[in-house]
Structure 1
Amino acid sequence: MKQTAALYARVSTQRQEEEATIASQVAAIEEYATHEGYALRKDLYFLDEAVSGAKLDRPALDRLRDREGEGCYQVVICLSPDRLARVYMLQVLLLEEFRQAGIQMLFVNQPPVSDSPQSQLLFGIQGLFAEYERAVIAERMRRGRLHCARQGAMVNPKTPYGYDYVPKTGREGGRWEINAEEARVVRQIYAWYTQSEPMTIQEITDRLNRDGLQPRRGKCWRSSLIGNILRQTQYTGLAYYNRTEKVYHEVGRLRKIGHGKRLCPVSMLRPTEEWIAIPVPSILDKDIWRMAQERLKTNQRFSMRNNRNHRYLLRGLLICATCGHTLTARAGNGYFSYSCGYGGVHRAPDTPEHTCRIDGNTVETLVWNAVVELLKNPKLISQAWGCDEAANIEQGEKERLENRLRSLDRQQERLLDLYQDEQIEKPSYLVRKQRLDEEQKTFKRAFCKSSKRPSPNKSSRN
């Protein structure tokens, strides 16, 4: 009786799929199964199209592994080990999983993998070469893309709303062209958002839906889509390549904010000198775009979000002296306060545990009375308006800067201790140290400016 076999094939890119590379794999496996006397069933064809072999998260492979215990197949046939996985350790993991399930793994282009030392050595060498080949291909593609971007011959084929992508023809690289109808909508959105009586993002969304205009995808506009359009930097005529990079050393480590371990790599901005600027047709004037960004920042800081019951006078204005996070206003049982939510389990690993809570009625009364007194004395307002920006830092702000600088010094010491004790790796240490150094420079500059400010007593005597 013939053994039932499952077929697995994979291609890495859309181009390979279009060139029917996966069809050639299927044909080779079918020929091999017929010659060796295995029965193939169409419902046991598992094909991953345009999926990387460097990961196990693949739709067809997941379905193949899910049916291991059903007993519907006794053999899995694949063209070669690198089609099963590009990473040697993943190959070993899958083979061991199939072996424990009583399933034999066969490859068309090599003898069956047995438990003999020679067979295991050959399989290991082939797996390592497949992994090396993948690394070489990835590096060549990366360098090629960088070279094309520096020559201005490469832009992202996924264009933001307002542009169309024109594929490369001959020696000319691909380029973006303005979509006249979409560009008109983009300009209208920015005009509504930056006018003297600006509309909110939700009001813009409702207006576009009432006018019967449809987005590029979907049947109606959503506020998230409008927000994304308002944050696009390309509309001013300059797109950037090599702007971000994925950082993998944080995977598996505890999150700096929140619970659990990080499962995915972190996307971080590269240094600005590594960005590659690519000119594209401009849709907006730079001043209009900057106005929109300023309003987005203001709205993000002072947005009411889901708060409908309480109006806090100092919402978004108070900062924790220890960690620098904005204090959150909370109300309940007739009492409200401003408190820091990053002093306990949600704090960063290099931040000490702390508690910061201020009675809302007390601090709002103090601030309100101070503002009233200031408004009663026009001379103080005119003096403050004409002074340098650094002269506006009060004594309380100066104390906050001193506390924050001391906290950063302690964090630097703890971070160095962790590195010397080999509790963190060098890449993680360098990333955290760079972040702390940049923050220290910022606070030191602000502190120096505050120290040069003349004292209020001297100003009153003069």
Structure 2
Amino acid sequence: MARRIRCAIYTRKSSDEGLDQDFNSLDAQNEACAAYVTSQKAEGWMLVPTRYDDGGVSGGTLDRPALQRLLADIEAGIVDQIVVYKIDRLTRSLSDFAKIVDRLDSTGASFVSVTQSFNTATSMGRLTLNMLLSFAQFEREVTAERIRDKIAASKKKGLWMGGTVPFGYQPDGRSLKIDETEAPIIRHIHDLYHDLGSVRTAAERAEELGYRTRPRSFATGASTGGTPFSRGHIYQILTNPLYAGRIRHRDKIYDGQHPAIIDPTAWDEMQERLATEAARTRGRSNAAERSTLVGKLFDETGDRLTPSHSRKNGKRLRYYISRRLVTDRREKHADAWRLPARDLENGIARILRDHLRKASVITDLVRDLKASELPELREKLLQIADDCDPNGSADVWAPLLRRADLAPGRILLRLDRKVMADRLNVPPDRIESPARRVPASFQMQRRGVEARIVLGAAMPQIDPVLAKNILTAQRWYAAIKAGSSFGDLAAQEKITSARIQQMIGLAFLAPSVLDQVTAGSQPLSFTSEWFKRTQLPSGWDEQKRIVKGL
């Protein structure tokens, strides 16, 4: 007697179009699969009564309710085999398919495609399957490219492509019309900045006037908005070309077909003023600079990092330090942190920007993502990423960060669920918790009393002290070859002979090590101070081995 094989039918449709019909695409897939299972009754196949239907969900993500229920039932031993109409109903991604197969293999389960006959137990069958999945993934990527191209072409014509309706406007077909209740608030916010010259002060004044963001409700019952305008909100209002009757697409701005709330000439002048103020702030003493990450930074002991500052040559230098350095000054606390605030803030902004620009993040971040939502949400996420500008205002990106945990060699950033939901215009319960965790590497290098922070992938940065000392050592070596003594050089340079003997070895670095120093890609710990203490051997191969191991 044939072994009993419990079969479950899985169906999927990318869009929700037509799902309200009495007999839709999911029903057609189910009917074909059920007939196939019946034809295999002699082989012991039997159909489980539960249906696993995902309507309006992309095949580019595994975050599908019915699929997750099915995989859970397989792991619980309720289902032995998945039956699908076509392989691309299960997934359109090679990497996701590998994950599904691993889960099936771990339980001894399998899958069958009704319209594509192949045996994955043979090498030819596996090749056929991989080819089918490759074409499915290619088709999905081409479709996404077409949608992106269509959005770009439409925005170039000045069309509003939907999404979150900006404060001050109401939707009007493929365009926008002015909301006469909210538009005066937008104009007044521009006037506030024009008069006060500060985004922070304008935000405080807007709150005093009782201005609130637009409340939004979702089908799930969740709601957002109705809160005071934050500094980030104010900055976005001031810099959004939509209010000047224009449409932004990535880094390009086109004339829009909707009416302007702010005069375009006045808006252009506002952008020049904002840019000038930002440049002036970066160029002058940062005495008035605030520590925007206060309350969000923690070290490996759970101690909160608190703002601190010192003065050097009349300049105010900001730091984040472990709180125990302030509350318990009697102890030295060798494990406590003291980090340059500007470097840390810029590094975190860079990590957030690079992370949010990854194509896969949106499918990991938003639960129950529909194919129809993907282009718009991906566009919004790219805009959020662009806002995480290390050289821009931290008031814009800092609200995205709920918490950052530092430990030797690593940092873990946690995104704020409510802020991400608000900026993507989705209910907070659709933001996945695991996807809000952003791990990155963390390195700290000291050059004398100066500390340099490198977060994430190390950015090439030339060490000016090391580069200068190499050139000096080469000059000393040329002088010695010409007949000068160490004593002569010491007298000329007004330093000791011992100092020259310590550093002249920099003239004999291996060419590959010199290339790294020139490009700024040498290990962080390879500094002049390290060389003075270590004294590299003269052999180039040995030098390269030691430097590589730093």
Query: What is the TM-score of this pair, normalised by structure 2?
Result: 0.47
**Structure 1's 328 and 94: CA in aligned 2 closer, same or farther, altered over 3 A?**
same
After superposition, what is the alpha-carbon deviation per residue over 1:51-101, rounded to whole angstroms, capped at 9, x for unaligned?
Answer: 332333434333322332211122212221111111234324423431331
- Structure 2: how far apart are the matches of 1:32 and 1:216? 47
1:12 corresponds in structure 2 to: 14
Q: Offset at 1:151?
A: 3.4
Contact 2:83 2:114 in 1 (8 A): yes
For the structure 1 residues 411 and 139, does the alpha-carbon distance in structure 2 shift closer, same or farther, using more than 3 Å as the test?
farther
Q: Which residue of 1 aligns with 2:182?
A: 182
Aligned partner of 1:354 in structure 2 is 446
Distance 1:49 1:200, change over 3 A: farther
The CA distance in 2 between the partners of 1:345 and 1:69, in whole Å, is: 37
C-alpha deviation, 1:303, in angstroms: 3.0
Would the aligned equivalents of 1:2 and 1:39 in 2 still touch at CA under 8 Å? no
* Kept after mapping to 1: 8 A contact 2:410/2:443: no
Q: Which secondary structure state, in structure 2, belongs to the residue aligned with residue 5 of structure 1?
A: strand
Find the residue that maps to 1:231 and give its secondary structure: helix
With 90-99 and 192-201 compared, the bigger mean Cα shift is at: 192-201
Alignment of 1:144-155 (within 5 A): 144-153=150-159, 155=161
Q: Tell me by how many angstroms 1:227 deviates.
A: 2.8
* CA 1:194–1:353: 2 relative to 1, 3 Å: same
Q: Tell me what 1:164 maps to.
A: 170
* Residues in 2 aligned to 1:16 and 1:91: alpha-carbon distance in whole angstroms: 27
Asked whether 1:277 is paired with 2:254, we answer yes
Aligned-partner residue type, residue 105 of structure 1: F
Distance 1:164 1:30, change over 3 A: farther
Q: 1:131 aligns with which of 116, 137, 149?
A: 137
Deviations 1:309-352 (A, max 9, x none): 9885869x958xxxxxx7416562569x9852659847998987
- For residues 154 and 200 of structure 1, the distance between their equivalents in structure 2, rounded to whole angstroms, comes to 28
Aligned to 1:443: none
Which one of 71, 81, 86 corresponds to residue 87 of structure 2?
Answer: 81
5+ residue gaps, structure 1, are: 168-173, 244-271, 320-325, 359-400, 419-462
- Structure 2 unmatched runs, 5+: 218-222, 296-305, 331-336, 345-407, 412-439, 451-462, 470-514, 525-550
Deviation at 1:231, TM superposition (A): 1.1
TM-fit CA distance, 1:8: 2.1
Q: Which residue of 237, 240, 249 maps to 2:248?
A: 240
Structure-2 change in CA distance of 1:339 and 1:158 (3 Å): closer
Are 1:303 and 2:314 matched, yes or no?
A: no
1:328 alignment counterpart: 319
CA–CA distance in structure 2, aligned partners of residues 404 and 3 of structure 1: 70
- What pairs up with 1:309-458 in 2 under 5 angstroms? 327-328=318-319, 330=321, 332=326, 333=328, 340=340, 345=409, 353-354=445-446, 413-415=519-521
CA distance in 1 between partners of 2:98 and 2:338 (Å): 54
* Structure-1-length-normalised TM-score: 0.55
User: 1:206 deviation in Å?
Assistant: 6.6
Residue 228 (structure 1) aligned to one of 216, 233, 245: 233
Q: Percent identity?
A: 19
1 CA distance for matches of 2:209 and 2:311?
32
Contact 1:106–1:113 under 8 Å retained in 2: no
Q: Which residue of 2 aligns with 1:201?
A: 203
- In structure 2, the residue matched to 1:55 is 61
1:213, 1:119 → 2: CA distance?
A: 57
CA contact (8 A) 1:339 1:356 kept: no
Shift of 1:107: 1.7
**1:339 and 1:4 mapped to 2: Cα distance?**
60
In 1, Cα distance between the equivalents of 2:320 and 2:95? 50
**Which range moves more in the overlay, 128-137 or 73-82?**
128-137
> Does the aligned pair in 1 maintain the 2:410–2:441 contact within 8 Å?
no
Q: Structure 2 matches for 1:21-100, cutoff 5 A?
A: 21-37=25-41, 38-42=46-50, 45-100=51-106
Find the aligned partners of 1:90 and 1:82 in 2 and give their Cα distance.
11
Q: Which amino acid aligns with 1:340?
A: P
1:109 Cα offset (Å): 1.4
**Compared CA separation, residues 345 and 99, structure 1 to 2 (3 A):** closer
Q: Which amino acid aligns with 1:146?
A: A
SS in structure 2 of the partner of residue 41 of structure 1: coil
In angstroms, what is the RMSD of aligned CA positions? Answer: 5.0
Q: Is the 8 A contact 2:183 2:261 kept in 1?
A: yes
Contact 2:10–2:83 (Cα < 8 Å) also in 1: yes
The verdict on how the C-alpha distance between 1:56 and 1:405 changes in structure 2, with shifts beyond 3 A counting, is farther
State the match for 1:262 in structure 2. none
3-state secondary structure, aligned to 1:354 = strand
The aligned amino acid for 2:243 is Y
**Do the aligned partners of residues 282 and 64 (structure 1) sit closer, same or farther apart at CA in structure 2, a change above 3 Å counting?**
same
Shift of the 405–27 alpha-carbon distance from structure 1 to 2, 3 Å rule, reads farther
Distance, in Å, in 1 between the alignment partners of 2:261 and 2:151 is: 26
Question: What is the rounded CA distance, in whole Å, between the counterparts of 2:227 and 2:167 in structure 1?
Answer: 14
Deviations 1:417-441 (A, max 9, x none): 99xxxxxxxxxxxxxxxxxxxxxxx
CA distance in 2, matches of 1:3, 1:181: 64
Verify the 8 A CA contact 1:205 1:223 in the aligned structure 2: yes
Shift of 1:119: 3.0
- Partner-residue secondary structure (3-state), 1:160: coil
